[in-house]
Amino acid sequence: MSKMKGTLAGNLTVQLGQVSLLPLQRSSSSSSSNPFRFQKLLESGIEEPHHPSSIDIDVNVDDKDFILSQDFFCTPDYITPDGQQICNSLDCNKENIPCPKSPEKLNTVRSKRHRQDGFSGNLLSSNFPCHQQPVELACDAFGSDELRTEESLESGSQKKQNYVPQSAVALRCRVMPPPCIKNPYLKGGAEMDVDPFRNQRSKSTAAGFFPSAIGGDGLSRYRTDFHEIVQIGYGNFSRVFKVLKRIDGCMYAVKHSIKHLHQDMERRQALMEVQALAALGSHENIVGYYTSWFENEQLYIQMELCDCSLSISKSSQLFAEGEVLEALHQIAKALQFIHERGIAHLDVKPDNIYVKNGIYKLGDFGCATLIDRSLPIEEGDARYMPQEILKDKYEHLDKVDIFSLGAAIYELVKGSPLPESGPQFLSLREGKIPLLPGHSMQFQNLLKVMVDPDPVRRPSAKELVENPIFDRFGRIAGTK
Ligand SMILES: Nc1ncnc2c1ncn2[C@@H]1O[C@H](COP(=O)(O)OP(=O)(O)OP(=O)(O)O)[C@@H](O)[C@H]1O
Ligand SMILES: [Mg+2]
């Protein structure tokens, strides 16, 4: 046990020591000679000679006693993360690279004032990731308190003018907080009134955010925190991977946008998905959300890992009525939950319904919007959209989800993908569902009313959940 602890501590030292002060200060083996070496480095701006033993001392590469071994903490993808351009923060031999823009005091103050007036263009420019202009970005995130620190750093570094230790810059990039963003899905929350910057920033500044604030130290947060196992899905906009989180040893799904989101608007749009998930909080029938971040101008979302989706194209399985009723009931509960919070999903379809241990979960909130239409509306997959949406009528967005769920369930029992156009496409939008041999009339009537062309006649999610059909299948569909 003590051996495990020692090795784990060593591994953590190796992993975290490059990006955080905490493990260096706590690790007795690596820092006992000088526990605040990096703190001093930050404060003085003077680089230290390289001490390879401070990294290597605890690593026992032969130790295979437990799963969180060197293999996971120091896989090659971690050692040389994608896009790493800045030197490794512990490699002090590279510390004396002249800074392309030396931190002369006047420039520093000017760039800070600039920042307080609002976001300057170059902050959101894709041409200047954090690691390429470290001094300006580092200055940029500081409030007035940090300004004093910056000044003292500079006076201390006057001995070595025009040089900034890149490890110090990297560490600062890592710890500086990006601006907060208002979550539009949270209505009337008191937290909206709190200014997390104590008025240090203007409103226009708080409305923006860094395109690549994480990764400014040159390390990929994705590679640092996760061990990628396999791609488990993809959509029109994203890829989804099964990953092992290095620090807790648990499996998750991480979804990241395929496209690089260069524009502020694109990033805002992508953020809507995580804002909706975060605002909703946890529900058994909604895919669990953990965290998200921007990296390399892509949005990464860490989620609960599910076993599979109900995608009809990926399985030839024909669903029996009892099974689809179970899925219908559980997703109706998810819809009731989100509709009660004023949110419509707008992309309900089998691809976006996941299964985990027999529990159905609604995922992919990429089109989520507010039912009161106060947010932009991006409709989902046209095969599952009712005719009012195709005619740009958005009065009953919650009922759009009911139609989509009805269409999705119909697809599952039919066993073949819904058409994207043509007479069958049109007849479904007119509320016509061909007879489904072997299925009860009660079930078929329920599907029919869910795809009614008049959204008002469709049941609400609550009415759906309370439909007596689920009493009949009570034991299968679970209790309410
Ligand atoms: N948490 C998860 N657990 C397991 N598989 C997942 C998870 N999230 C997504 N997937 C898989 O990845 C696929 C794509 O994910 P998702 O639908 O979120 O991407 P997208 O690009 O937004 O899709 P779309 O093209 O529908 O807009 C899903 O259909 C599913 O198969
Ligand atoms: Mg999807």
pLDDT of residue 186: 86
State the chain's mean pLDDT as an integer.
70
Q: Which pLDDT belongs to residue 188?
A: 62
**What domains, with CATH codes, occur in the chain?**
221-304 (3.30.200.20), 308-470 (1.10.510.10)
**257 touches ligand 1 (CB under 6 Å):** no
Lowest-confidence region among 5-9, 213-217, 249-253, 284-288: 5-9
Query: For residue 215, what pLDDT is reported?
Result: 52
Regarding the beta carbon of 304 and ligand 1, being less than 6 Å apart is answered yes
Q: Which phi and psi angles does 146 have, rounded to 5°?
A: -65, -25
Residue-level pLDDT at 400: 98
Q: Is 50 exceeded by the pLDDT of residue 240?
A: yes
* pTM of the shown model: 0.65
Residue 259 confidence (pLDDT) above 60:
yes
Contacts of 355 by beta carbon, 8 Å cutoff, 6+ apart: 306, 307, 308, 309, 310, 361
Q: How far is the CA of 365 from the centre of ligand 2 (A)?
A: 8
Give the pairing of strands 289-295 and 298-303.
antiparallel
Q: What average pLDDT does this structure show over 192-202?
A: 42
How many angstroms separate the alpha carbon of residue 301 from the centre of ligand 1? 11
CA dihedral 386, 325, 424, 456 (to 10 degrees): -30
DSSP for 190-217 reads: GGGG--TTTT-S-HHHHH---SS-TTTT
pLDDT at 208: 45
Which of these, 348, 217, 200, lies nearest to 285 by C-alpha position? 348
Query: Is 255 annotated to bind ligand?
Result: yes
Q: Is the distance from CB of 176 to CB of 42 less than 8 angstroms?
A: no
372 pLDDT more than 70: yes
pLDDT in tens, 31-86: 333 434 434 434 444 343 333 333 333 334 333 333 444 444 434 444 334 433 33
Least Cα distance to 473 among 309, 283, 330 occurs for 330
| pLDDT for the residue numbered 42 | 41
The pick from 255, 286, 289, 420 for probing ligand 1's pocket by mutation, whose C-beta has the most ligand atoms within 8 angstroms, reads: 255
**Residue entry with tokens 């959509």:** 235
Give residue 180's pLDDT.
72
Average pLDDT score over residue span 304-322: 84
Report whether pLDDT(333) > 90.
yes
278, 284, 285, 291 alpha-carbon torsion, rounded to 10°: 30
Ligand whose nearest atom lies closest to the CA of 351: 1
Confidence at 126, pLDDT banded by 50, 70, 90: very low
The pLDDT tens digits for 420-479 are: 999 999 999 999 999 999 999 999 999 999 999 999 999 999 999 999 999 865 544 444
Ligand 1 probe mutation, 290, 364, 379, most atoms within 8 A of CB = 364
d(CA 197, CA 200): 5
Confidence band of 169 (pLDDT split at 50, 70, 90): low
Q: Give whichever of 21-30, 165-174, 195-204 has the largest mean pLDDT.
A: 165-174
Lowest mean pLDDT among 224-238, 385-399, 422-436, 465-479: 465-479
Name the residue among 71, 42, 70, 37 with its Cα closest to residue 54. 37
* Position 164 confidence tier, pLDDT thresholds 50, 70, 90: low
Measured CA to CA in angstroms, residue 333 lies from 66, 329, 402 at distances of 41, 6, 11
Average pLDDT over every residue of 212-232: 81
Distance 68 CA to ligand 2 centre (A): 32
Residue among 289, 373, 360 nearest 327 (CA): 360
Segment 234-250 shows an average pLDDT of 94
In three-state secondary structure terms, 360 is strand
Q: Is 233 in the pocket of ligand 1 (CB under 6 A)?
A: yes
Is residue 124 within 8 Å of residue 264, measured between CB atoms? Answer: yes
Please state, for a pLDDT cut of 90, what percent of the chain lies above it: 48
Flag whether pLDDT at 260 surpasses 80: yes
User: What is the pLDDT, as a whole number, of residue 191?
Assistant: 45
Q: Helix, strand, or coil here: 157?
A: helix
